[in-house]
């Protein structure tokens, strides 16, 4: 039986909760059933403090330099194009995107290239009071545009994972995705 090809996508492998979740998934999904690949950007503490551990865990790590945490429209477009090319070429069965930015970019690229299962785990959202994410405005039309982009990206995903009840309530109250996801 062919193993299910899963691409775990995240912007950076720094020391953080989302990154630890990714490492746990890379380490704990049964190797006999899943063939996992880590796809990530290159920024962060010491260019990815947890990257060496990830490289010990999975045979394939693909770096996408344009995949950054900050909102950077030109780099974001380049990251989306790079991911679409990668997904079209490697044909994963599942793309599981972690964090807001990777989720937005990877969900759209995965859906456009026909990935059968797309999971978006925001690990919170950029609209939370005090999120303090570089490049994310506190309000106004730019934040409204980011909300629309988030809704479009979450529409591309087959499933959205909320990490807590309050996160789920926030996601639904903001109208970021439908309750069925």
Q: pLDDT (tens digit, 9 = 90+) per residue, 105-131? A: 999 999 999 999 999 999 877 777 677
CA dist 15 and 11 (Å) reads 12
**Higher-confidence position of 17 and 114:** 114
Checking if the pLDDT of 46 tops 60, the result is: no
CA dist 59 and 37 (Å) reads 7
> For residue 43, what pLDDT is reported?
65
Tokens matching residue 103: 């989720």
Contact 104, 149 (CB under 8 A): yes
Bridge partner list, 96:
8, 119
Q: What would the pLDDT profile of 136-163 be if each residue is shown by its tens digit?
A: 777 788 888 888 999 999 999 999 998 8
> For residue 160, what pLDDT is reported?
94
pTM: 0.91
- Averaged over 30-59, what is the pLDDT? 84
Altogether, the residues listed in the chain come to a count of: 181
Checking if the pLDDT of 60 tops 70, the result is: yes
Structural domains of the chain in order of their starting residue, each with its CATH number: 4-129 (3.40.50.2000)
> For residue 48, what pLDDT is reported?
58
Checking if the pLDDT of 44 tops 70, the result is: no
The mean predicted confidence, pLDDT, of the chain is 90
By CB neighbour count within 10 A (0-12 exposed, 13-18 middle, 19+ buried), where does 176 fall? buried
Angle at 110 between CA 58 and CA 28, to 5 degrees: 30
CA dist 155 and 148 (Å) reads 11
Element (H, E) at 78: helix 73-90
CA dihedral 30, 36, 39, 45 (to 10 degrees): 40
Checking if the pLDDT of 21 tops 60, the result is: yes
């Amino acid at each position: 039986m062919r193993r299910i090809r899963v691409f775990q996508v995240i912007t950076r492998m720094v020391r953080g909760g989302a990154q630890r979740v990714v490492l746990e998934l890379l380490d704990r999904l049964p190797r006999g059933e899943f063939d996992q690949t880590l796809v990530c950007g290159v920024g962060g503490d010491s260019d990815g403090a947890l990257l060496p551990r990830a490289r010990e865990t999975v045979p394939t790590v693909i770096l996408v330099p344009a995949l950054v945490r900050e909102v950077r429209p030109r780099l974001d477009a380049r990251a989306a194009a790079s991911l679409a090319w990668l997904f079209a070429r490697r044909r994963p069965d599942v793309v599981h995107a972690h964090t807001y930015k990777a989720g937005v970019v990877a969900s759209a690229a995965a859906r456009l290239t026909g990935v059968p299962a797309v999971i978006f785990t925001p690990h919170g959202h950029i609209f939370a009071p005090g999120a303090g994410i570089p490049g994310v405005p506190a309000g106004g039309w730019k934040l409204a545009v980011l909300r629309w982009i988030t809704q479009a990206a979450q529409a591309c995903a087959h499933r959205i994972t909320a990490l807590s009840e309050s996160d789920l309530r926030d996601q639904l109250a903001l109208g970021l995705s439908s309750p069925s996801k």
